[in-house]
Amino acid sequence: MAQGRIVGLSTTYTGGHVPTIGFIYPDHAAEDDYPFAEGLLGDRYALPVAHIYGTDLHAVPELLDLGSERRLADGAALLAEHTPDAVVWACTSGSFVYQWDGAHEQVEKLAAAAGKPASSTSFAFVRAAEKLGLKRVAVAASYPDDVAKLFVEFLSRAGIEIVAMSSEDIDTAAEVGRLSPDAVIELAVSHDHPDADAVLIPDTAMRTLDVLNTIEERLGKPVLTANQVTIWEGLRLAGEVPESAALGALFR
């Protein structure tokens, strides 16, 4: 499987240092997944979130603007007060919309602006799939069809076979953030495929951490969600990914 190029070196922590991963999050929708994850991990890690603002429309021109070098540099500056050990652009569509080479460049510029190892949610999905040895996946996307297809193309470039793709055609992140837990579970379960090794849910605007294990139990296979893999990727960059029974197969 081709690997995403992740900028920066891992660090090993000793003594009383609290590993701190900074997340640049677009607008507001499901950012409470991050403090929720802090609690699930026993408050042994700091996961501060900085917000940048644009339109939350799931459309290519708006997403290109949202993930621009200027906006991400602003997010890195906001995170500086937390002295993060790594920084992650917590937006799937705002990274894969740049396509494979452009997403590499986006991460490189973010690392330069932050002065820290950096990555994005799109590369987090690639790395997480590699970690679990996933070859064939089903994608349950909340995006409009044209945007969802760009995610499929991104995964395909990484050597992942997509055996099924669905798009819910939800126009804005705010609408996704209002989905109920039952609706999120149904989205994942209804768009599984028998040939898929796992189901991928690619929107950081969707709250998924509190229903991850429920979905995996229903499906009997791993589930990767945007906020889950983003947090995992940040911890990986910082050199320490803890085990957690509460955050799906990726953390077990």
Q: Domains for the chain: give ranges and CATH numbers.
A: 21-124+228-246 (3.40.50.12500), 134-225 (3.40.50.12500)
Q: 138 has which bridge partners?
A: 164, 199
Assigned token pair, 94: 């705002």
**Dihedral of the alpha carbons of 21, 148, 99, 118, in degrees to the nearest 10:** 0
C-beta separation of 22 from 87 below 8 A: yes
**pLDDT score recorded for residue 8:** 34
Integer Cα distance of 121 and 119 in angstroms: 7
**pLDDT score recorded for residue 13:** 40
Integer Cα distance of 119 and 95 in angstroms: 10
**pLDDT score recorded for residue 82:** 96
Integer Cα distance of 231 and 225 in angstroms: 10
**Which tens digits make up the pLDDT trace of 143-202?**
889 999 999 999 999 999 999 999 887 877 778 888 999 999 999 999 999 999 999 999
**pLDDT score recorded for residue 12:** 38
- 38 C-beta neighbours (distance < 10 Å), count: 16
pLDDT beyond 90 at 9: no
Q: In what order do the strands lie in the sheet with 161-167?
A: 161-167, 136-141, 198-201, 223-225
CA 40, 222, 129: angle at the middle one, nearest 5?
95
Residues contacting residue 236 through CB under 8 Å, at least 6 positions apart: 10, 127
**pLDDT score recorded for residue 160:** 97
Nearest to 144 by CA among 58, 56, 202, 55: 58
C-beta separation of 111 from 69 below 8 A: no
Reported confidence tier of residue 16, pLDDT bands at 50, 70, 90: low
Integer Cα distance of 203 and 227 in angstroms: 8
C-beta separation of 125 from 92 below 8 A: yes
